[in-house]
Structure 1
Amino acid sequence: MLISAKTSARIALTSRLLAGVFSAGLIFALSQPAAALSELKQVPGQTTTQNNTPQTPADSDEPADDAGAADGLPQPDPLIDPTNKTTQADDGKPVEVLYDVNKAPEPVRRMRQLIVEAAASGEIERLRALMNPGPNQTQVTIGETADDPIRALKELSGDSEGIEVLAILLDVISTGFVHTGQGTPDEMYVWPYFTEKSLSTLTPPEKVDLLRIITAGDYSDMLEFGGYNFYRVGISPDGQWKFFVAGD
C-alpha cells in the first residue's frame, strides 16, 4: 500500500539522518579545544562581552514577519516559480501547469480553501459537509461509492483518526494543478499536476515537486506502472468536490 511505503521510507530516512548527525557532532566536539567550542556556541548576529554574555543588537532593519495568509490558503512556495508552466503529457500534448490558484474560478478557489482549512484542523469530520452528501457524493474510493466517505478515509489512513489522510490531502492540494476537460461535462481542476504528466519526462525541479508527496520508491513503482497513481483531488468549475482518490 502506498501510504505504508511512504511512512516506512520516511522513518528509515529520519533514523539515518539522526544517526549521522549525532556521530559527526560527537567526533567534532571531542576534537576541539574548549575555547573554540565556546566560540562555536555564539549565535550569528550577537556580540559577546568579556564574560561571554550574548548581546543581541537593539535595532534591526529586518521587518517582523508576522503576517499570515489573509485567505487561509498556503502561500506560494518561494522555491517554486508561482507562474504557469507548460509541460508534456503522456500523449505528447502540452500541459499547462498552474501554481496561482487565482487562475481558477471563484467557486473552485472557495472549495479549495474550505478543504485546506478542514485538513489543517486535524478533524476529519470537518470534511463531511464538503463532500456533497447524496447521489453526487465526493468519490473517495475507486469503483463503488462508499456508504460513509469519512469512515472509508479513516480505514485508508495509517492511523485510526485519519490524520495521515488529512496530511496527504493538504500536501496534494498545495501543489501545482491542471485544468482538464475544458468544454466537456468532465471539466475539472485537478491536483497534483502529475496526473496529466509523463513521469519519464520530469525535470529535476518537477521531481522535487513529486517527492514532496511520495517517496523515491513510490516514484520507481510509478515509472514501472506507467503513470502517477497516488492521491489526487478534483474540483468542478462550479465548486463541487468531485473526488479524492488514489489509484488510476
Structure 2
Amino acid sequence: MRVSFTKMHGLGNDFVVLDARTAELPEVNARFARNIADRREGIGCDQLILLTPSDAGDFRMRIFNPDGSEVEACGNASRAVALLHGQPATIETAGGLIFAQPAGGGIAVDMGEPRFEWEVIPLAFAMDTLSMPVGWEELNNPVAVNVGNPHVIFFVDDCDAVDLARLGPLIENDPLFPNRVNVNVATVDSRSAIRLHVWERGAGLTRACGTGACATAIAAMRRDLVERETRVTLPGGDLMIGWSDANRITMTGPATASFTGSFDWSQFA
C-alpha cells in the first residue's frame, strides 16, 4: 500500500504528517512510528502526526514520538496541521480540544487552559507546583504546569550553560513523574522576553517545543517574572505566548510545509 505524506516543521521542530481524514490507513503502532521517525533508515522527524476524522472537532490529531510513544499535545504540530488544513479549525487531541487560525503571517493556536494541580500534572505525591521542593544538581525549585501534557520548568541565570542533554533524561524519567515529563530550562531576559531550551519527553533535545514555550511562559507569569504576553526564544526561533483573563493560552508562530512524498507502508510496518 502506497501512502502519501507531507513533511512540515514549526521553528525546525519537524513532522511527518499522514492524512487519514478521508482515506483510512492501517493502524499506526509504536514500531511503525519509530521506523518512520528514524533519520537514517526512515523519513526522519521529531514526531509522526496522524490526522483522522473527529466527532468533537474538525479533525483529530494523534502525535507519536521517535521512541514510539503517543503523547497528548504538540504546539508546533498544531500550527503545522492548521497550515495544512488551510482555514480555522478545531482540533481534537488527547490533551483536549484546541483551536487554530491564521494570524499575522503565522498561525495562532488557542491551547486551552493551563492546569496546576499536582495530581493533574501528574506528580507522584502532593506538593506546591509553583515552587516544587525538589532539585537535580544545579536545577532546583521548578514550576510544574500541564498544558495538555506535563511540563516542569527551571528558571536559571543562563539556560545555555545547562547540560540539558545529560540532566534532561534524568528528570524526565524520575519516579516523581508517573507519566514522565517534559523538561524546560529558561532564562528571563526582560519582562517580555524569555530564552528557553527543552528536553522533550520521548524525543530528547529539540529546536522548538510549542507546549514547552506555553508552559514556560505561564510559569514565568505565575511567578510575576514577565507580563501576560511574552516572547519565548528557542534555538529554532520565536513564539509569542499570551495568557488571557479568561484563562486561555494563545501561542502564535510560523509553520512551514517542506515537501511531499510517498512510501510503501509495508517497508515500515
Using structure 2 for the length normalisation, give the TM-score: 0.23
**Higher Rg:** 1
Greater share of strand: 2
**Greater fraction helix:** 1
Q: Structure 1-normalised TM-score? A: 0.24
